Amino acid sequence: MILKQICVVGAGTMGAGIAQVCAVARYRVTLVDLDPKQLDRAKESINNSLGRFAHKNKLSEPVSTIMARIEYCQELAVCGNADMAIEAVYEDIEVKTGIIQELSQVIDSSAIIGTNTSAISITALAAAAIKPERVIGIHFFNPVPMLKAVEVVRGMETRDDTMDVTTQFITSLGKRPIVVNHDIPGFLLNRINLPSNLEAIRMVEQGVATIEDVDQGVKLAFGRPMGIFELGDLVGLDVTLNACDAIYNETKDPKYLPPVLLRRMVKAGRLGKKTGNGWYAYNADGSKVVPASSATKKD
């Protein structure tokens, strides 16, 4: 199966990033979102991101040529001509299930439906599709244009040819497919990464160390480009909480039980860079304006 037309549903940070890397790889892309303002923000974000790559001489084509491959639409019906549709909406099983159910009714029977979930069961999501054997997990990591790993997750009904086409697609994007052959909660990389992230939050919650020292220690000792809390703000605290809850609710493994501090931050609307306040606080341009220790105190 040769993929030419990709439909991405959800024009948030992840959806915009997925659309961008597909367009750079010379696929025709339709980015779908019900909110026209979100589509405008996505278009601006993609253009700015491509501009930074162009400034570093990391693009083989002009930005305008790549941008011309992306169409923006509010109607899910436009996915009817897609060879692959990738949903990248909010990490909520009911929202994602609804999108997958709608997609399966409009796309061709041979098309593949990918779900960019970080922890929700692929099998459960695929059950909403007319052809669950054509549904597969395609878990990109944030920021999509920068990070090379993409988990390709097999649901119970996913066919071998669906896996094969998807892994080839991910490779064509210049990324490395990490094949996950069993649909376990949290898949592979989050199962490894999330416990350490939650432990870092507990250490801060207990007053063992500051957010700044944890992040500096992780970067200096482990060679990470970003600290745990810096990356948490980029991903979104609500996304992290939902992923942990999804894993814990299915496994009851206490190491995935979210700390109270994380729940409090989400309830307070301190979700990270997208709200201007998370573990750190931010200016409109994304720069920090106060230390993390101040950001987590009551106003």
Query: How many folded domains does the chain comprise?
Result: 2
Residue where a domain terminates, one of 139, 154, 180: 180
Q: Has residue 246 been placed in a domain?
A: yes
Q: Is 142 a catalytic residue?
A: no
In a domain, 264, yes or no: yes
| pLDDT single digits (tens) 56-82 | 999 999 999 999 999 999 999 999 999
Name the strand (E) or helix (H) holding 111. Answer: none
- Please tell me whether residues 167 and 291 are part of one structural domain: no
Q: Please indicate whether residue 121 is annotated as part of the active site.
A: no
Instruction: Clarify whether residues 67 and 154 are in a common domain.
Output: yes
What distance lies between CA 88 and its chain's CA centroid? 7
Per-residue pLDDT, 92 = 87
- 11 and 158 inside one domain: yes
**Boundary-marking domain end, from 116, 145, 180:** 180
Are residue 124 and residue 204 in the same domain, yes or no? no
CA distance 12 to 33: 9
In the set 87, 91, 102, 151, the catalytic residue is: 151
The pTM for the full model equals 0.89
* Signed CA dihedral, 212, 213, 217, 218: sign only: negative
Whole-angstrom distance, CA of residue 106 vs CA of residue 65: 29
Specify whether 195 is located in the same domain as 127. no
Q: Do 175 and 197 have their domain in common?
A: no
Kindly report the CATH number assigned to the domain that includes residue 249.
Answer: 1.10.1040.10
Same domain, yes or no: 117 and 212: no
Residue 48 belongs to some domain of the structure? yes
Q: For the CA atoms of the chain, what is the radius of gyration?
A: 19
Note if 118 is an active site residue. yes
End-of-domain residue from the set 155, 180, 205: 180
Q: Which of 87, 104, 139, 157 is catalytic?
A: 139
User: Choosing from 49, 118, 121, 277, which is the catalytic residue?
Assistant: 118
Please tell me whether residues 150 and 25 are part of one structural domain: yes
Q: Residue 81 sits in a domain of what CATH number?
A: 3.40.50.720
pLDDT tens-digit series, residues 102-146: 999 999 989 999 999 998 999 999 999 999 999 999 999 989 999
Residue 45 annotated as catalytic:
no
What is the domain extent for residue 259? 191-295
104, 190, 197, 242: the catalytic one is 190
State phi, psi for 26 to the nearest 5 degrees. Answer: 75, 25
Query: What are the structure tokens assigned to 285, written together?
Result: 């341009």
Neighbour tally for 263: CB within 10 Å: 14
* Per-residue confidence band for 294, with pLDDT thresholds at 50, 70 and 90: low
Same domain, 142 and 196: no
- Residue 202 CA to residue 259 CA, distance in Å, equals 6
Q: Identify the band that residue 295 occupies on the pLDDT scale cut at 50, 70 and 90.
A: low
Q: Are residues 176 and 195 in the same domain?
A: no
Domain co-membership, 173 together with 28: yes
42: closest CA among 63, 71, 65, 62? 71
- Residue 11, domain member (yes or no): yes
In a domain, 185, yes or no: no
Same domain, 49 and 148: yes
Is there a domain that residue 60 lies in? yes
pLDDT at 299 over 80: no
Residue 144 in domain: yes
